[in-house]
Structure formats: C-alpha cells, structure tokens
Amino acid sequence: MTRTAISSDRRITGLSAAVIAEIVAEVGPLWHERHQARLASRPRKRTVGAGAKHRMVFVDRLLATLVHLRHGVTHDVLACWFGVDRSTVSRAIGKVRPLLAERGCTISPDVRLRTLAEVVDHLGQAGKTGIIDGTEIRVRRPAVGHKDRDRFISGKNKQNAVKTMVFTDGDGRLLFCSPTTPGSCADITHAREFGLSMCSRRPRWRASAASSGPA
C-alpha cells in the first residue's frame, strides 16, 4: 500500500511512475550485483539461502530514499511507513544514494551529467546560465559525546542541519546535487571545497547566485 501511494502521486517523489520504473530497471540490477558481491566477500557460517530475508525489496528502498531526499523525512517516519526498523531504512538509504549519484542527471536521451565539471561544460557549450544555492535539511542533534557534535549547528537557522549544494539551469531543471556537509559549513566554503571556483574559471561560463535562504 505504501509503495503504491508513493509511486502514484508525483508530489511525493517529484517523479512520474514511468521515471521511477526506469530507475528501478537501471539501478536495481546494479544494487543486486553489489549486494551479492558483499555477501560473497565474507566467509559464510550458513548455507546459501539460509538466514533472515530482506523485508524491504529494492523498489521500497528506492522509494524511501527518494522521499527522504525530496522532503527530508526522518528515518523513523519512513520505518513506520514501510513497517521495518529504523536501522533497516538507514542502511537502505546509505546504499541507494551512491547508486543514484553514479547514475547522474539525465538532461536529454544522449546527455547525462555526473560531476560538477560535466555540468559546467554542458552549460558552457549550450550558452546557458547556471543557478546554484545551498540548501539545509534539519536533522537530529548527534548524541552527547559524539565527535564534532557542534558542527551540525547552522549559524543561519540556529538548528541542527546538513547542507548540500544544488545546481540547476535557467529553466529550473536539476543538474547536480553535492554530497552533504554539516550545517555549520558556510555556503561559499562548501562551494570552494567542492571545486566550484576551479570550474568557474572555464570560458563561456556564467553563474547566477540564488537567494541566501534554504531552497
């Protein structure tokens, strides 16, 4: 029921059912291949096929990741939706997100962007304007005694958050989303650490700064 409700309403994931099916067909086999490789890389104490079975199939793992990325839904809430433990959702998102990042953003059938350098080259060749902004997502405060606990406190919104750098074109199409950093990192510092200053020195490149508030 949860799977049907999420995939049938585009407002939840921002993607149509056809696009979700395309991602499942492309990323699903890669996830299964890596999962089998992880199992084969460690010595087994049980026969093949024994042990606990997955309570979340790949489609559910993908949908949980998409909802989390779009709305910042906590892992606890997603665990309630899918009827699993919070740790199961956390592991699922942690393994699906890198696969989505490797897939990149599809601009057209023959153009797919996977890195910031590719985004800059694409905009330069097309003569288009790029729009970049830092977006914050509120998160739980790390437990007492956690290393660098105060690094997640955002000086802008005075809350615990993680920050990501979002890149779009002039039409609002998402071109790139950087890995997250603790909320205390300034937008310009995040951009510099990710190599934006080096990419922006290329010819035929224009960058428009978005508002300083979160998207």
What does the block give as tokens for 197? 């200053």
3-class secondary-structure state, position 68: helix
Q: Minimal CA–CA distance to 5: which of 23, 17, 22?
A: 17
Residue 212 has a pLDDT of 41
Among candidates 113, 147, 140, 139, which has minimal Cα distance to 128?
Answer: 113
Average pLDDT for residues 66-83, to the nearest whole number?
88
134 and 213 in contact (C-beta within 8 Å)? no
Mean pLDDT, rounded, for 159-188: 79
| pLDDT over threshold 60, residue 211 | no
Average pLDDT, the chain: 78
* 3-state secondary structure (DSSP) of residue 138: strand
Identify the pLDDT of residue 214.
Answer: 40
* 34 contacts 91 by C-beta, under 8 angstroms: no
Q: Return the SS3 of 148.
A: coil
Helix (H) or strand (E) holding 90: helix 86-103
Do 132 and 167 contact (CB within 8 A), yes or no? yes
Tokens found for residue 129: 């304007």
Strand ranges, E, within 66-145: 105-108, 111-113, 130-138
Is residue 209 within 8 Å of 126, Cβ to Cβ?
no
- Evaluate if residue 114 carries a pLDDT over 50: yes
> What is the per-residue pLDDT for 171?
73
**pLDDT value, residue 61:** 93
pLDDT value at position 203? 47
User: Residue 49's pLDDT is what?
Assistant: 58
Reported confidence tier of residue 127, pLDDT bands at 50, 70, 90: confident
Stated as kind and residue range, the H or E segment containing 163 is: strand 161-169
Joined together, the tokens standing for residue 163 give 């920050």
Q: What is the pLDDT of residues 23-68, one digit of tens each?
A: 999 899 999 888 888 877 877 666 655 555 567 889 999 999 999 8
* Most confident residue range from 75-79, 136-140, 172-176, 185-189: 75-79
